[in-house]
Amino acid sequence: MTEEGHLHTLSIRNLTVRKGGVEILSGVDADIRCGEVTALVGPNGAGKTTLLQAILGQVPYTGQIRFCRAREHGQGEPRIGYVPQRLSLDRDAPLTVLDFFALSAQRRPVFLGPSRKAREAARKSLEQAGVGHLLRRPLGRLSGGELQRVLFALALRDEPDILLLDEPVSGVDVAGEELFCDFLSQVQRNSLFSLLLVSHDLSVVTRHADQVICLNRRIVCQGATTEVLTPENLAAMYGSDAHLFRHTPADGHGHLHEPGE
Amino acid sequence: MEGILAGVFALMDRLLPFAFAEAGFMKRALLALLLTAPASAAMGVPLVQHRMAFFSDAIGHSAFTGVALGVLLGVSPSWTMAAFGVLVAVAIVLVKGRTDLSTDTVVGVFFSTVVALGIAVISREKGLTRNLQAFLYGDPLAVTDAELAGMALLLLLVAAYLSLLYNRILLLGIDEGFARTKGVPVRAVEISFAVAVALVVTAAIRTVGILLVTALLVIPAASARNVARGAASALWVSVGIALFSGVAGIVASWYLDTATGATVVLAAAGCFALTALLRVARPRG
């Protein structure tokens, strides 16, 4: 079922999504393979979030999204991890990081306290992410970088088959991006899941992604990062009048600047 | 049923040997508050997290129509009020899921509609205005035995409901897409929560009235937010504040000769002020 060397593949065939009579995505074909980082890039309104929602089963679609796995990788429905772009938490929300982990780990209601098992799992994955000290901190009071680490730790706790990251480095400082690199290398080391990364930041994409899918309502192009991110393809995706800056990767900035941005 | 109630009253006589608790109607009022206030305060914690204070106010105001329907149909208004409240709650959730309008706009439309409908019906039936008074300001002193039994049942239902679904309700309040990936059946949880809020709100109207019922859900939860750091303390502080406000309010209303529902809400507001001061005095990291 799967291609050689990959334990599993999320294969998307002829995916079309309509919202209110408008075609948001049409005829999308893509493969997201285990052990690889696949980046999803495209201008605002290209349907990147819609594609994530389709994979998560949150919007109706036509076409096929299939999870093909090798026999040694286990059976059943794939576990899909999702790290949202932001959480709409108030700073006052009475919820500690431990509570947040417990919400999705135990049947016992959190107002009766976290279970021992949930606490241990939370402690372990937070320590792995280097933020064991945040266990009892209120979730709403974390800095952007801390919250990001907590979300990554939670995503890894549940051992997903596919991990979807929505703009993981937007609004995060340089340290946050370094953390993200660590996280990705950790992911690639155990290489048991595939990672789909939505990003506006081309420097992040060129440095970390193995595969790139360029999307603008349909697939503009896809393939190995080095082959795909050419000026011609970027112009086709963002429009030829877009100002495209690609600084050298060394200076850490490779943002796309769209007109009016 | 009457035996149980008599037993409870005898127990109250022993525990509360005070003048204010002597009269039967005062015991009834106290019991009504001890049953509805903690249920409201417990539901209030996720309600505040979901930013649904306005929703709960709309359900409260749907009681105008609910009560009018009860009188017109010759059924006890308490039951039609609850049934109509549930109907409006489900309608709001369903419409909200099918439109791009913001939640407060949808709630606003329903809010005005149910109030207008209630007033239209009431103005046709001249005798109804008197009936409405008790619902507008609340009248815990006139709670019937059947209503007390209903409140006790509701408290048990709320405890069971929150025990089963609390984690999923909180996850949904954090982020819908995130909750879905954690296996939360979003629509089912959303509708069940709206129905539970509607039942609690319409039960609490008997004690504090249409105008103040949202306060019973929102103020204890908001006060708890001032001092609680975690999910467990938030719920228990909220319930504790509600119980304290219920008892303090009813005692104060006896000695000050003020409306019971309003006095209870004022006691809760006092708790909010106090916790807000505590929060300023001890800023959290």
The interface predicted TM-score (ipTM) is 0.90
* Residue B159 to residue B153: CA distance in whole angstroms: 10
Burial class (CB in 10 A: 0-12, 13-18, 19+), A59: middle
> Does domain B2-7+20-213 fall into CATH 1.10.3470.10?
yes
Q: What is the pLDDT of residue A3?
A: 46
Pick the residue from chain B with its C-alpha nearest to A49: B177
Q: Judging by DSSP bridges, how do beta strands A37-41 and A211-216 pair with one another?
A: parallel
Q: Which residues of B touch A95 (CB under 8 A)?
A: 170, 174, 230-231, 234
Interface mutation vs chain B, best among A111, A164, A196, most B CBs within 10 Å:
A111
CA dihedral sign of residues B68, B72, B74, B79: negative
Interface mutation vs chain A, best among B47, B164, B168, B174, most A CBs within 10 Å:
B174
Q: With an 8 Å Cβ cutoff, is A56 touching chain B?
A: yes
Q: Which residues of A touch B177 (CB under 8 A)?
A: 53, 56, 58, 82, 84
| Most distant pair of Cα atoms in chain A: their distance | 58
Q: Which residues of B touch A167 (CB under 8 A)?
A: none
Chain B: give the shortest CA distance to residue A159, in Å. 12
Q: With an 8 Å Cβ cutoff, is A76 touching chain B?
A: no
Residues written for chain B: 285
| Higher per-residue confidence, A91 vs B147 | B147
Chain A: give the shortest CA distance to residue B27, in Å. 30
- Record the tokens describing residue B224, joined without a space: 């708890």
Between A58, A111, A136, which is nearest B180 by CB? Answer: A58
Query: Taking the model in full, what pTM does it have?
Result: 0.85
Put simply, the answer to whether B180 touches A100 (Cβ < 8 Å) is no
Residue A219 pLDDT > 70, yes or no? yes
pLDDT band, residue A176 (cuts 50/70/90): low
Put simply, the answer to whether B171 touches A103 (Cβ < 8 Å) is yes
Buried b / exposed e over B131-167, threshold 16 CB at 10 Å, is bbebbbbbbbbebeeebbebbbebbeebeebbeebbb
Q: Where is average pLDDT lowest: A121-130, A190-199, B196-205, B246-255?
A: A190-199
CATH code of the region A1-79+162-261 = 3.40.50.300
Residue A1 pLDDT > 50, yes or no? no
Between B181, B232, B233, which is nearest A82 by CB? Answer: B181
| Higher per-residue confidence, B267 vs B132 | B267
Put simply, the answer to whether A94 touches B285 (Cβ < 8 Å) is no
**pLDDT average, residue stretch B204-232:** 94
| Higher per-residue confidence, A213 vs B126 | A213
Q: Where are the domains of chain B?
A: 2-7+20-213
Cα B82–Cα B85–Cα B87 angle in degrees, nearest 5: 110
Chain A: give the shortest CA distance to residue B130, in Å. 42
Residue A4 pLDDT > 60, yes or no? no
Where in the sequence of chain A do the CATH 3.40.50.300 domains occur? Answer: 1-79+162-261
Q: With an 8 Å Cβ cutoff, is A60 touching chain B?
A: no
Q: What is the pLDDT of residue A240?
A: 59
In this structure, how many other beta carbons lie within 10 angstroms of the beta carbon of residue B214?
26
**A192 Cβ partners below 8 Å, 6+ apart?**
A7, A34, A35, A73, A159, A161
Put simply, the answer to whether A96 touches B229 (Cβ < 8 Å) is yes
Residue B269 pairs with which residues in a beta bridge? none
Chain B: give the shortest CA distance to residue A52, in Å. 10
Q: With an 8 Å Cβ cutoff, is A193 touching chain B?
A: no
| Higher per-residue confidence, B182 vs B166 | B166
Q: Where is average pLDDT lowest: A32-41, A97-106, B103-112?
A: A32-41
pLDDT band, residue A44 (cuts 50/70/90): confident
Q: What is the pLDDT of residue B154?
A: 96
pLDDT tens digit string along A76-98? 777 888 887 777 778 888 999 99
Comparing CA positions, the residue from A47, A78, A46, A81 lying closest to residue A168 is A81
Residue B16 pLDDT > 80, yes or no? yes
**pLDDT average, residue stretch B50-74:** 92
Burial class (CB in 10 A: 0-12, 13-18, 19+), B76: middle
* Residue A246 to residue A248: CA distance in whole angstroms: 6
Put simply, the answer to whether A141 touches B284 (Cβ < 8 Å) is yes
**pLDDT average, residue stretch A40-66:** 88
Residue A38 pairs with which residues in a beta bridge? A196, A211
Chain B: give the shortest CA distance to residue A186, in Å. 22
Interface mutation vs chain B, best among A51, A82, A103, A141, most B CBs within 10 Å:
A103
Q: With an 8 Å Cβ cutoff, is A80 touching chain B?
A: yes
Interface of B with A (CB under 8 A): 45, 49, 162-164, 166-168, 170-171, 174-175, 177-178, 180-183, 224-226, 228-236, 284-285
Pick the residue from chain B with its C-alpha nearest to A56: B181
